[in-house]
C-alpha cells in the first residue's frame, strides 16, 4: 500500500446514477462505482477515498484535501467539467497525477459537453467506458504514482 490514498471524486447528480437517464449512464449505482473503485484499488495496492458532492465549493475543498493528504485524483466533475474554472484551478494546483473520467462519451453528445475546463490540466482523460473508466484510471494511477513503478 502507498501511505497516501487516491481520492475518487464525483460531481453533481452522480448520486442519481442507476435511475438518472439510464439509457446514457446505465443501471449501475454510485455504490457500484464505489465498490468497483475499492476492489480495483485493493488489487493495485492503493488506498482509496471516495466522495460525491453536488456543490462546487465542496468539490474544490475535497481537491484541497487530496492535495494535502493524497497521492492522486480520479475525478468525474460531471456538469462542472463544462463550467468550473474553480475546479480547474484547484486541480492545476495539485502536483500529483489527475485523471478525468466520464461515464458517457461526452464527444458523441451535445456540443456544450465537448469542452472541458479540466482536460488540459489532467494527466489523462477517459470517456465512454462506463464504470470501467474509473477502474482504468485507478490502474493507470497505480503505475504512475511516483515510487510505485
Q: What is the helix (H) or strand (E) element at residue 141, kind and residue range?
A: helix 132-144
131 sits near ligand DQA (criterion: CB under 6 A): no
Question: Alpha-carbon distance 144 to 97, whole Å?
Answer: 8
Q: Which stretch binds ligand DQA (CB under 6 A): 26-34, 38-46, 58-66, 100-108?
A: 100-108
The angle at the Cα of 109, spanning 27 to 63, to the nearest 5 degrees, equals 70
Taking the complex as a whole, how short is the minimal distance between the CB of residue 85 and ligand DQA, in angstroms? 16
Question: Alpha-carbon distance 47 to 44, whole Å?
Answer: 9
Taking the complex as a whole, how short is the minimal distance between the CB of residue 33 and ligand DQA, in angstroms? 10
Q: Is 21 helix (H, G, I), strand (E, B) or coil?
A: coil
81 sits near ligand DQA (criterion: CB under 6 A): yes
Residues annotated catalytic, as ranges: 25, 102
Residues that bind ligand DQA (CB under 6 A): 13, 76, 78-79, 81, 102-104, 106, 113
Amino acid at each position: 500500500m502507498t501511505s497516501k490514498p487516491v481520492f475518487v471524486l464525483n460531481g453533481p447528480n452522480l448520486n442519481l446514477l442507476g435511475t438518472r437517464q439510464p439509457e446514457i449512464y446505465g443501471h449501475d449505482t454510485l455504490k457500484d462505482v464505489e465498490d468497483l473503485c475499492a476492489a480495483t484499488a485493493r488489487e493495485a495496492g492503493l488506498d482509496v477515498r471516495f466522495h460525491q458532492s453536488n456543490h462546487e465549493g465542496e468539490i474544490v475543498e475535497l481537491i484541497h484535501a487530496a492535495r494535502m493528504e493524497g497521492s492522486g485524483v480520479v475525478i468525474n466533475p460531471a456538469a462542472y467539467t463544462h463550467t468550473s474554472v474553480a475546479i480547474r484551478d484547484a486541480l492545476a494546483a495539485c502536483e500529483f497525477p489527475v485523471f478525468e473520467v466520464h461515464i458517457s462519451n461526452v464527444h458523441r453528445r451535445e456540443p456544450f459537453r465537448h469542452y472541458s475546463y479540466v482536460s488540459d490540466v489532467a494527466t489523462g482523460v477517459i470517456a465512454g467506458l462506463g464504470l470501467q473508466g474509473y477502474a482504468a484510471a485507478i490502474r493507470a494511477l497505480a503505475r504512475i504514482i511516483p515510487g510505485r513503478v
